[in-house]
Amino acid sequence: MIHVTTTINGDETEFVCDPRETLLDVLRDRLSLTGAKEGCGTGDCGACSVTVDGTVVCSCLVLGAEAEGKEIGTVEGIATGEDLHPIQQKFLDHAALQCGICTPGILVATKALLEKHPDPTETQVRYWLAGNLCRCTGYDKIIRAVMDAAKDMRSAA
Amino acid sequence: MSQKHKIEVALWGGLKPFADGNDKVEVEAATTGQMLAAVIKKHPALEDHIEAGVSVAVNGRVIASSLTEPIPEGAEVVIIPQLKGG
Amino acid sequence: MQYQAPDSFDAAVTLLNAEQGMARVLAGGTDVLVQLRAGTVEPDLIVDIKRIPGVHDITAEDGGWRIGAAVSGVELNAHADLCADWPGVAEAHDLIGSTQVQGRATLTGNLCTASPAADSVPAMVAAGATARVQGSNGTRDVAVEAVGTGPFKVSLAQGEVITSIFLPARGANGGDAYLRFIPRTEMDIAVVGAAVSLTLDGDKVASARVSLGAVAPTVLLVEGAANAIIGTSLDDAAMDKLAATASAACNPISDKRGTVEFRTKIAGVLAKRAAKIAYDRAKG
Amino acid sequence: MAFDEAKKDFNLIGTRPARPDGIDKVTGRAQFGADKAAPGQLHAAILRSPHAHARIKSIDTSAAEKAKGVKGIVTRADFATGLKGEMWNKLENVMAGEKALYDGHAIAAVAATSALAAKDALKLIKVDFEVLDHVTNVDESMKDGAPVIREGAAGPSTPEGMHPNVVGFYSSGHGDVDAGFADADLVIEDTFTTEATHQGYIEPHACLAQMGKDGKGEVWCCTQGHFNVAKVCGHLLGTEASQIRVTASEIGGGFGGKTEVFIEPVALALAKKTNRPVKLVMSRSEVFRASGPTASASMDIKIGMKKDGTMTAGRGVFRLQGGAFPGAPGTFTAMCAFAPYALENVSQEAYDVMTNRPKQAAYRAPGSPMAAFAVESVVDELCNQLGLDPIEVRLKNASREGSKASFGINWPRIGLVECLEAAKAHPHYSTAIPENGGRGVSCGFWFNHGGETAVSLALAEDGTVSLSVGTPDIGGSRASMCMMAAEELGIKYDDIRTTIADTATLGYNEISHGSRVTYASGLATIEAARDTIKKLCKRAAAKWGIDEDAVYWEDGFAKPSGPNAGEFEPMSLAKIASKMGATGGPIVGHYEATPEGAGVSFAVHIVDAEVDKETGSTSVGRYTVIQDAGKAIHPSYVEGQFQGGAAQGIGWALNEEYIYGEDGRLQNAGFLDYRIPVASDLPMIDTVIVEVPNPGHPYGVRGVGETSICPPLAAIANAVSNAAGVRMKSLPMSPPRILKALDEA
């Protein structure tokens, strides 16, 4: 077993894990942070998206051991206290989720997108989120929610 | 419970061989359940098919499984395969 | 399985040489973790090279660029000067996987997985890139096209590890491009990939390298295809010859991603389209 | 319960409030199938057959039992014996008996202290297989000499003399089709095929099970029907459904695929054996290999048309491949095929065929999309060859109230004509077709369903309401339930909390399938609210000392029904609820029934597509969905169903398919090569909600979830065929297929 010290959503966290365990396994099974979902385990669906030092990655493609000394961000860290992040609120306003299993990953990826590109085109949003599979919505309302959130965040900035 | 009355029941084509070559069966019944029982009584070879599950359309309204739906006099009654969905 | 994250390539090589069982080098991990998950590879040792100083750096060298073994797609595409020199290589790398995969995937890893369909490899081959290899006998530079020897097989010896990739000086009037065919717009493995790098003398192609992916057991460098356009300004006859020679060089398989006929034909189509883009880029 | 003609002015129905489960779902708090843990839980893994067809000669688990962390192993011997019919089939699918019938068929399962330990132990189980010949293609499976999946599986309707793999048959029709064809100016006959696809829900099947010595079981799982899970587990474990309490987790997509039971009985068997909670989660590759994809189909269609567009006759023969068990939805394929058209002469027949593939499961309107693909392709070709407008032709022949349906009934009030008129009037239809592009139009039809339903509605002292329903929320239905209850009770949307009750808490509820939830649970919610209102009025009447018939309910208040009843200050729900303990006890309304008024739904889709003729690549341009919803309770979620169905249909049409190798193994058991549409593949999907009220629902609701996947296969195929200039007859229209068709044209 490997001992790892890391920071998750701003909190210093320690865990031990088997070297074969992924960061996703660790988050879900050892730290009870079940917001990141396993849809495929092979980096094809994006439901397990988290940020590592600010870069969005699939936590199923990161070993738990690699988290040593890193800053990890998960869906659980997007809201501030009881205040939803604008993208979370827009997802509710636009009915941009049906079953909700892809939502955590999409929110994590969207947050990273808007931090990097505050004024994305629809095409940019669609390509940025191409690794986040949604099977319910046909993406329409998701894209609208992201564009609307971007607009609001720009005018608030 | 209303009185039994004459009902002409239409079968789907695949059932014809089990109804002595008929695609219509005339029975006396007042409800879907009575009607199905009477159809089986008249053509026992239909029992397996009906027990395997059928729905009944009464004047175009599909009764998926209920045996207690009343069948009005003069109603168009059609036995169709049992419906469900995904 | 053991996990080690050494702080130097010397230490990495020592670890790899000491391992009696199976060892895997972990760079971006986007292939290795998939293999682990599927159970297709069950290594006894994982050597994570990402904590070695310098592996995330892109540095100017002899007019070209040296790219550390752990530079991710995000890091590569954030390097404006490199992207300006070698847009085809940058785009090819950017095509691999999703935004999330881009946060991890590396040129070195893509090369070492040795998939015939690897997106960045044809672009690197066309660019004339080399890989710097370190082993117990020191370091050597190898042409990228000499690394893969067959599907998922490499020419590296036991204990050897690629420490960086070198993209040569672009030089004046040059351009490169990579195109791949996939059924969707994203998230697929290339059914066919084609890369062209060329330089111009006026309107005429002065030199060219054409490379194809997913049409043979290894990524191909197709000299005939390059010869088809050298000395031309990509007139129709040259383009037809380019397509024909590219298709003729194919030796693909039929599988879940495409048929022999499809791959053979598309290789020609993409070679032409990539040549046109590279040409326009060289024109500036 | 009949449509309430008087109910027209709604307060809430038709508005778009935020869903009650929304905050949990955007913050990561919502608990899905794999998100729950129990103290002391074990993790399980399933050993699956690598062979498409093999006799299991022996299973040796001795080495695995001794492995580190392993606490228990089950095989078929640990399940009930003596099952018959459907339950035997379910058990056989959940855990193989004498034979492995498909690549991925479960052979044994291990529970261990960690998921890795369980997975490691699988490698130590030794299975002696005798590999048998296999067949995975529907047409091959019907031929003489094809390997027999199982003797004696055929149902009573199967004609004699057919291969034992043909296990079901359906035929129906009316008129004289040959005379109809003779009457036509143009007859087109062709064969079409579709490949098996998967629902592709992003959440793999997952469950957490416990079962003690007393035989009482508990299951937490993602399912479309937890009451059905209890029933199936009861049978497969040799106990009763009542002994197993099942709680439905949040469900990460189902689309029909989570109507089946795969892993819950296995987890229970392991829990029973180890006396520990057992968590079992499928991997993505297991989902593809061993859950329930759709049927694949091979179909012959013949349609005759006059020069003026009148369809004179239609004939369809449908062969559906359903995997290693009976149950392919050929009957529905045949019934849906010509449903949009009022044909004087029509005949259809269907064969259900077994192969060495996983048992097919429902996928949104099971059987209908492929039928629409075949029939609507021929209709499109007839329009092209006769130079007729595809919507005008469809309008001319459209089924409408009173016309005779292809499967024998006379249509009640239906909305196909309204959908076609809306399509014709839509700006999309009048814009120019893009250069190098093609436009496709298609109709689609699905029956919809009612089903057993029980609902309970309890008041709290603070005037809020707890609504318990038994149908897992697969698309935002809790929002709709809250809206319908609030509408009836005249209270705020936010004052209703809707919970999916577990199986020990509420009467039996059929699965969330057949697009039935907003219809049936909605109807039951309205009735339970009305039952509650009666009780509220009674309390007010008692307080006022007047007859309860003299009290009526309006906008959340009990009011005396006129001057004769007396002058009393209206009493709010909250006021009555605050005193209910002392005025007769808790107030709970409820309703239990099998509503039989599910209204059918029709849709029309219009799509523009472009084809790159050098590569065979298709891009979908503009897309418009027009569908009859009866009455949209929450329009956003109705639109969501329309858009989601269209997107899944686009995937089915263009790239999704089960690919089997010569060895009978699934080649693409992952999202990398099973290519569902990604965000950059799709355009915005425009929607038009048509509302032709369903006479069988008080607000006129029709199910909407399934019909939306019926037209897109055909609409895309028509657009692609028109763009490419060559008729595409096989799905998916992957680039190699399109290029091949272009080369051969």
- Residue-wise pLDDT for C156-167, tens only, equals 999 999 999 999
Q: What CA–CA distance (Å, rounded) separates C71 from C54?
A: 9
Contacts of D336 in chain B (CB under 8 A): none
Mutate which: D15, D16, D25, vs A, most A CBs within 10 A: D25
pLDDT score for D4: 76
pLDDT, chain D, mean: 97
Pick from D655, D668, D736: CB nearest C184: D655
Pick from D667, D671, D735: CB nearest C183: D735
pLDDT score for D566: 87
pLDDT, chain B, mean: 92
pLDDT in tens, C175-231: 999 999 999 999 999 999 999 999 999 999 999 999 999 999 999 999 999 999 999
pLDDT score for A29: 97
pLDDT score for D6: 60
Residue with tokens 């036991």: C158
CB neighbourhood size of A10 (10 A): 10
- Cross-strand bridge partners of residue D99: D55
The secondary structure of D426-464 as a DSSP string is: SHHHHSPPPTTEEEEEEEEEE------EEEEEEE-TTS-
Instruction: Kindly tell me the burial class for residue D307, based on how many C-beta atoms sit within 10 Å of its own C-beta (0-12, 13-18, 19 or more).
Output: exposed
**Average pLDDT of span D500-529:** 97
Question: Looking at CA atoms only, how far is residue D480 from chain A in angstroms?
Answer: 13
- The confidence band for D560, taking pLDDT boundaries of 50, 70 and 90, is very high
- The confidence band for D444, taking pLDDT boundaries of 50, 70 and 90, is very high
Percent of chain D having pLDDT more than 90? 96
- Indicate the range of B77-86, C135-144, D142-151, D733-742 predicted with least confidence: B77-86
D1 vs C228 pLDDT, higher one: C228
| Cα torsion C80, C84, C85, C86: sign | positive
Q: Any residues with CB less than 8 A from the CB of D423 and at least 6 apart, and which?
A: D391, D429, D441, D604, D606, D624, D626, D688
> Looking at chain D, which residue has its C-alpha nearest residue B59?
D410
Asked if D643 has any chain C CB less than 8 Å from its own CB, the reply is no
Domain boundaries, given as residue ranges, for chain D: 374-448+599-744, 450-593
Q: Any residues with CB less than 8 A from the CB of D743 and at least 6 apart, and which?
A: none
pLDDT score for D212: 86
pLDDT score for D3: 80
pLDDT in tens, D39-54: 999 999 999 999 999 9
pLDDT score for D1: 60
Mutate which: B48, B49, B59, B80, vs D, most D CBs within 10 A: B80
Q: What is the dihedral of CA D428, D432, D435, D438, to 10 degrees?
A: 50
- The confidence band for B83, taking pLDDT boundaries of 50, 70 and 90, is confident
**Region of C112 on the Ramachandran plot (φ > 0 left; ψ -120 to 50 alpha; else beta):** alpha
Residue type, D199: Q
Residue length, chain B? 86
Contacts of C187 in chain A (CB under 8 A): 44, 130-131
* Chain A residues 121-140 with CB within 8 Å of chain D: 123, 125-127, 129-140
**Average pLDDT of span D95-113:** 98
pLDDT reading at D562 higher than 70: yes
Contact C265 D739 (CB under 8 A): yes
Contact D409 B80 (CB under 8 A): yes
Asked if C18 has any chain D CB less than 8 Å from its own CB, the reply is no
- The confidence band for A121, taking pLDDT boundaries of 50, 70 and 90, is very high
Contacts of A129 in chain C (CB under 8 A): 99
Domains parsed from chain C with CATH numbers: 174-283 (3.30.390.50)
Q: What CA–CA distance (Å, rounded) separates D561 from D547?
A: 10
> Looking at chain C, which residue has its C-alpha nearest residue D285?
C38
Structural domain D374-448+599-744, CATH architecture: 2-Layer Sandwich (3.30)
**Average pLDDT of span D701-706:** 97
Q: List, in sequence order, every beta strand (DSSP E) within D678-718.
A: 685-690
pLDDT reading at B85 higher than 80: no
Domains parsed from chain B with CATH numbers: 5-81 (3.10.20.30)
pLDDT in tens, D341-398: 999 999 999 999 999 999 999 999 999 999 999 999 999 999 999 999 999 999 999 9
Contact B80 D451 (CB under 8 A): no
- The confidence band for D564, taking pLDDT boundaries of 50, 70 and 90, is confident
- The confidence band for D2, taking pLDDT boundaries of 50, 70 and 90, is confident
Pick from D172, D361, D447: CB nearest B62: D447
* Chain C residues 50-109 with CB within 8 Å of chain A: 50, 72, 74, 97-101, 103-104
pLDDT in tens, D262-321: 999 999 999 999 999 999 999 999 999 999 999 999 999 999 999 999 999 999 999 999
Domains parsed from chain A with CATH numbers: 2-77 (3.10.20.30), 86-156 (1.10.150.120)
pLDDT reading at D632 higher than 80: yes
Sheet with D166-174, strands from edge to edge, namely D166-174, D346-353, D311-321, D296-305, D186-194
Contact A65 C5 (CB under 8 A): yes
Contact D702, D600 (CB under 8 A): yes
Fold for D450-593, please state it: Aldehyde Oxidoreductase; domain 4 (3.30.365)
**Average pLDDT of span D655-672:** 97
Percent of chain A having pLDDT more than 70? 100
pLDDT, chain C, mean: 97
- Is residue D65 classed as helix, strand or coil in its secondary structure? helix
- The confidence band for B1, taking pLDDT boundaries of 50, 70 and 90, is low
